[in-house]
Amino acid sequence: MGILRNEFSWSKSRNETLQSCPRRYWFHYYGSWGGWDWQSDPRTREIYVLKQLHNRFAWIGVQVHKVLEELLHHLRKSKSLPNYQSIAENLQNRLRQDYRDSRDAKYRLRPKRFIGLVEHEYQLPVNDEEWRALATQAQTCVENFYRLPLLNQLKDLDYSKWLELEELNYFQIDGCKIWVSLDACYRSDDQIVLLDWKTGKSHEADHSLQMGIYAMYTSEKWGIQPDLILLKEVFLATGKTREYNSKSLDLEGVQNYVKESIQQMQTLLSRPEQNHAEESNFSFTDDTTQCAQCNFRKVCPKWHAGDSE
């Protein structure tokens, strides 16, 4: 097996991390590198463990996505769905097991195997009612999935029409890998339809950048004109949907934004050709609300200096 290289690439989440705090970005994409090796230095190992943590809201989203991925694979093969009650019970069991594993800090020994929650790592005050509300929200998302009108279309879909289900892939802009993962993608007549699951309660966030990136990837991979791509955000907490097409997405603007973001990231590198980054080149955010929800407080000089209080 060859030596692993920390290759520079771009993703929407990577960009969001940089915008939230440059030092958090360094921890996540550079400081943690190699921390999977037990022989790595203690600080690198600690950064790697902290990188794997989820906050409780992201954790719920991850688990709902896993359930929906399994359901769609089942639907693609059998053109039917398992009984909802069995799925709901299985989801609750998963959440309970994750909670126990995190509470018992199993992620400290095997951070990729066991879920670790920020709330447990930092002993944040979350009462039982709040935890139960999250479990209920997850169950509501799956229940609303079962009620979606588009399921009738998906049940009738020929196996060959399915294109991707939760697969990590990339396309390139100016030689840089742009990572994407489509929740679901399929052909419908002369169109390609993309589904993007949202598990939060808010409909207000602007996801046009994300949708534009998905459209660019789809157009390039399957050689289809952007005006034949339909993107659907499905808000599982309410069952509502929001649609995008090439007329509502400024794809040229999206591409320019990504290029500018790549340039911003590379400007921070001490040796761009080797993707080498010095920690001191990455400043701290001035927004202390970001500190309060950051995975890396335990290793962050700003946090220990008391500037975030």
Taking only the tens place, the pLDDT of each residue in 100-130 is 999 999 999 999 999 999 999 999 999 999 9
pLDDT tens-place string over residues 167-194: 999 999 999 999 999 999 999 999 999 9
Q: Which residues have CB under 8 Å from 298's CB, separation 6+?
A: 46, 50, 121, 122
d(CA 29, CA 160): 37
Per-residue pLDDT at 205: 73
Per-residue pLDDT at 246: 82
DSSP characters for the chain?
-PPP-----B-HHHHHHHHH-HHHHHIIIIITTTTTSTTS-HHHHHHHHHHT-B-HHHHHHHHHHHHHHHHHHHHHHHSS---HHHHHHHHHHHHHHHHHHHHTTGGGT-TTTS--BHHHHTT----HHHHHHHHHHHHHHHHHHHT-THHHHHHT--GGGEEESSEEEEEEETTEEEEEEESEEEEETTEEEEEEEE-SS---S--HHHHHHHHHHHHHHHT--GGGEEEEEEETTTTEEEEE-TTTS-HHHHHHHHHHHHHHHHHT-SBGGGTB--GGGSPPPS-HHHHTT-TTGGG-HHHHHTTT-
Per-residue pLDDT at 101: 98
pLDDT tens-place string over residues 231-262: 999 999 999 999 998 888 999 999 999 999 99
Q: What is the pTM of this model?
A: 0.93
Q: Please report, for the chain, the start and end positions of each structural domain, with discontinuous segments joined by +.
A: 56-147, 154-249
d(CA 100, CA 116): 10
User: CB 112: neighbour CB atoms within 10 A?
Assistant: 9
Q: Are 216 and 196 in contact (CB under 8 A)?
A: no
Residue of 143, 127, 118 whose CA lies nearest to 64: 143
Please name the fold of domain 154-249.
Lambda Exonuclease; Chain A (3.90.320)
Q: Are 34 and 204 in contact (CB under 8 A)?
A: no
Residue of 88, 98, 27 whose CA lies nearest to 58: 98
CA-atom Rg of the chain in angstroms: 21
Q: 69 to each of 113, 129, 145, 183, how far by Cα in Å?
A: 19, 28, 12, 8
Per-residue pLDDT at 203: 65
Low-confidence stretches of the chain (pLDDT < 70) are 1-2, 202-204, 305-309
d(CA 47, CA 26): 10
